Amino acid sequence: MSLVLSLDFGGTKLGAGVVDVDAGVVLERRRAETPPGAGARGSIEQMLTMARSLLAERPAAGVGISFGGPISADQRRVVTSHHVAGWDDLPLVEVVADALGLPVVMDNDANVQTLGEWRYGAGRGTRSFVFVNVGTGIGGGIVLDGKLFRGAHGMAGEIGHTVVDPDGPVCTCGKRGCVESLAAGPYVAAAARERLRAGGASALAVLAPGAITGRDVYAAAALGDQLALRVVGDAARALGIGIANVCALVDPELVAIGGGVARSGDVFFRPLVEAVRAHAAPLDPEWVRVVPGLLGEDSNLLGAAVAAAE
């Protein structure tokens, strides 16, 4: 199989593309906002419209789906979505296969991104690889001995919900001190707002407190803002401890970081790597390599194609 149609169902955006699996290139693509208020069925109809448009130009042999949320262990049904209503227990693979008349494979977005970065990006050429995506949440995936490791229930790689501070803030999953609750974008923004309320000096003070985003904090840190640098450093160290725990368990050749933070440079990666190496015992710190991901948003489309081709 050379050409695969990849469909990326995100919380706020939909993406579709025809991928040349052999070359690792997205040949054609379409993007759209998730239809507001239309629910799951509206998202599916919008996606199918884009899919049919692409297939009319470049016929594909199969379909790979990346879904931004938990899916069933057999990879055929969506469990739920935290962003769009109507996805609960929806047989998405069957719906898309019936509509397009093609074989369909689905996986969650973290696993798909991992496959993309492993096959075509930062992890290319490795046999053991860990990918961590940092955004509104924190997800991840693990490749062991050249195969994606999903675990018994398809939940392997959930580094965002490993606990690094039992007395830390409450996470969206209900536990305290998860990596996600300490290092994801909303936490970074909240931590900056808290420091400003406590009287900290920062260029961020010109923004309305409720308008500050994680992206704003990283941008300020890149310009040398001391309050932002401390917030970013704290987030990077928390993520680094979580990654160190994963490294101690699976001993990967390489760890790649995706999401917007992949472009943050030393303000993020220096404290991150220091924390990983400080806490990754019994591994030799020199064995632990942490690098930015290379594919950006294309990791979803490319990874979904890999899943379908395999």
The residues spanned by each domain of the chain are 3-115+298-309, 125-292
Looking at the DSSP bridge assignments, the partners of residue 71 are 78
pLDDT (0 to 100) of residue 1? 56
The two tokens of residue 225 are 């803002």
What is the 8-class DSSP label of residue 295?
-
Do 116 and 299 contact (CB within 8 A), yes or no? Answer: yes
pTM above 0.75, yes or no: yes
Residue 31 above 90 pLDDT?
yes
DSSP 67-123: ESS-B-TTSSSB---SSSTT-TTB-HHHHHHHHHTS-EEEEEHHHHHHHHHHHHSTT
Which has the closest alpha carbon to 189: 170, 208, 173? 208
Provide, rounded to the nearest whole percent, the portion of the chain with pLDDT above 70: 99
The count of other CB atoms within 10 Å of the CB of residue 59 is 11
On the question of a common fold for 3-115+298-309 and 125-292, the answer reads yes
Q: Does domain 125-292 match CATH 3.30.420.40? A: yes
Sequence-distant (6+) residues with CB within 8 A of 199 are none
Residue 253 above 60 pLDDT?
yes
For the segment 213-235, the average pLDDT, to the nearest whole number, is: 96
The two tokens of residue 122 are 């930062």
Do 162 and 142 contact (CB within 8 A), yes or no? Answer: no
Q: Does domain 3-115+298-309 match CATH 3.90.1150.10? A: no
3 state SS of 59: coil
Which DSSP helix (H) or strand (E) runs through 182?
A: helix 179-183
Question: pLDDT category, 82, cuts 50, 70, 90?
Answer: confident
Tell me the pLDDT tens digit for each residue of 129-162. Answer: 999 999 888 999 999 999 999 888 878 999 999 9
Tell me the pLDDT tens digit for each residue of 185-216. Answer: 999 999 999 999 999 899 999 999 889 999 99
* Cα 307 from Cα 140, distance rounded (Å): 16
For the segment 255-274, the average pLDDT, to the nearest whole number, is: 94
For the segment 1-28, the average pLDDT, to the nearest whole number, is: 93
